[in-house]
Chain A
Amino acid sequence: MKHILALVKKDLLLEIRQQYTFYGILLYVASTIFVLYLAMNQPEEKVWNGLFWMIQLFICVNAVAKSFLQESQGRMLYFYTVAGARDFILSKLLFNAGLMILMSLVSLLLFQLLMGNPLQNPFRFVGFVCLGGCSLSLVFTFLAAIAARARQGAALMAILGFPLIIPQVLLLMRMSNTAFADVIQAGLLQIILLLVALDILVIVLAIILFPFLWKD
């Protein structure tokens, strides 16, 4: 646990010192949504919802891609000796989940500002956004590890990840559809639990499989 926190802190410090990813992604978010606004103006709710989650998907690929590529071969070896593979992947998952939740919230804010506000139930939607950002980041963090091992960038991540992320995205769309009307949808809790179960599955798989990615 101590190791994990130390590694998260290291990522955080790097982020604060370099301020490259954060502002880079922030700019990416802002300009994408601005282009969308110019193209679509204020779309109806269904389109709004679909666009929102698709944008999250692309933001996630870009935000998470860097997390493994920035680590050089030598530094990886160093982490391996001081912390071990499991601590390392868990710290990355944690950090990226945090980063992605932040980015999702920022993009929600921008969506509200530019694309109109069709939300009937904003607090619920904020909850979904946090859960969604977290789910997306978990899957893509592990895929970033694979892509980094293959010395490839975000393009390979997208190829590997888009088929795998479909169940999460479908569940998220269904969930967030409930935030647009004042109706209580039956089975909402079931969908949320399914999503959480998928997240746990991804974390468990990452913990089991990551050590094999690391060995050289």
Chain B
Amino acid sequence: MRQYWWKILTIILLLYTFIAGLLVPLPHETAYVNSNLYESMRNFFFHVPMWFGQLGLITVSLVYSIKYLRKPDPVYDIYATEFARTGTVFGILGLITGAIWANYTWGAAWSNDPKQIGAAIALLIYVAYFVLRNSMPDIDKRSRVAAVYNIFAYFIYIPMILILPRLTESLHPGGKGSEGNPGMGGNSLDATLKLVFWPGVLGWTLLATWISTLRLRVRLLEEKKHTA
């Protein structure tokens, strides 16, 4: 917790992403000739890392839920909740950045694309998780039941986002009948873009972790004050 080098790294990486992301020359072929992306392609450095951040955080949340079930320590439950919360925030950001992008390139903010549906489902699941938590006053029971739901939901959600985009027509890369991996733009990414994209992913994910650790510190202090 006390180490701060990675926070400096976060700032540097995000500064780099913003500067390089807005200045780097786009591949003419992909951005102008083969598609109507044009300059909006730069959103790629901001929209896609949100999903990396969200998936990363809900996975961390899952790990803490499993840890809680193995050894019921209230700290694990707080960790699971806070990582899920920041993950949800990143999910909302991903949805918004995606909707803005879609508005310009697909002509509408929402077009029932399987990935948009998947993102909306993730939000519903995690909002339901918080509703479930708040429905129980007993702390012990709340932690355990919420952990069970978190694990159950995660293991249904992950196959769902693997299956859905491959099953139906999608406007995203990698849907039925289009090239690429639905996980991400993989092959269509050229070398210079990769040099901006991957540091960006790392930077955003670190930022998400940073936010979560700040929230965690507050929560743990509150807890201490409560018990003392």
Contact = CB atoms under 8 A, between A and B. Distances in A.
Interface residues of B, number: 27
Contact of A160 (B149, B157, B163): B149
Contact of B155 (A166, A205, A212, A215): A205
Interface string A149-172: 111100010011011101100100
B92 interface: no
A160 B145 CA distance: 12
A77 interface: no
Contacts of A152: 135
Main secondary structure of the interface of A (DSSP, over half): helix
B159 A167 contact: yes
A209 interface: yes
Contacts of B164: 167, 170
Nearest to A191: B167
Contacts of A194: 163
B9 interface: no
A13 to B, nearest CB: 29
Contacts of A160: 128, 132, 149
A142 interface: yes
Nearest to B120: A163
B135 A150 contact: yes
B156 A150 contact: no
Main secondary structure of the interface of B (DSSP, over half): helix
Given A166-B121, A167-B163, A213-B145, A142 B152 contact: yes
A163 B121 contact: yes
A213 B117 contact: no
Contacts of A163: 121, 124-125, 128, 153
Contact of A166 (B145, B152, B160): B160
Interface in A166-216: 166-167, 170, 174, 194, 198, 201-202, 205, 209, 212-213, 215-216
Contacts of B132: 146, 150, 156, 159-160
Contacts of A164: 125, 152-153, 156-157
B120 to A, nearest CB: 8
B141 A149 contact: yes
Interface in B119-169: 121, 124-125, 128, 131-132, 135-136, 141, 144-145, 147-149, 151-153, 155-157, 159-160, 163-164, 167
Which of A142, A152, A205 has the most C-beta atoms of chain B within 10 angstroms of its own C-beta? A205
A213 B148 contact: yes
Contacts of B149: 146, 160
B156 A212 contact: no
B69 interface: yes
Nearest to B114: A170
Nearest to B136: A150
Given A166-B160, A198-B159, A212 B148 contact: yes
A170 B164 CA distance: 9
Contacts of A209: 148, 151-152
B152 A156 contact: no
Nearest to B134: A150
B160 A150 contact: no
B163 A150 contact: no
Nearest to B140: A216
Contact of A156 (B125, B131, B155, B163): B131
7 contacts: A149-B145, A159-B128, A159-B132, A162-B124, A163-B124, A164-B125, A216-B141
Interface of A: 139, 142, 146, 149-152, 156, 159-160, 162-164, 166-167, 170, 174, 194, 198, 201-202, 205, 209, 212-213, 215-216
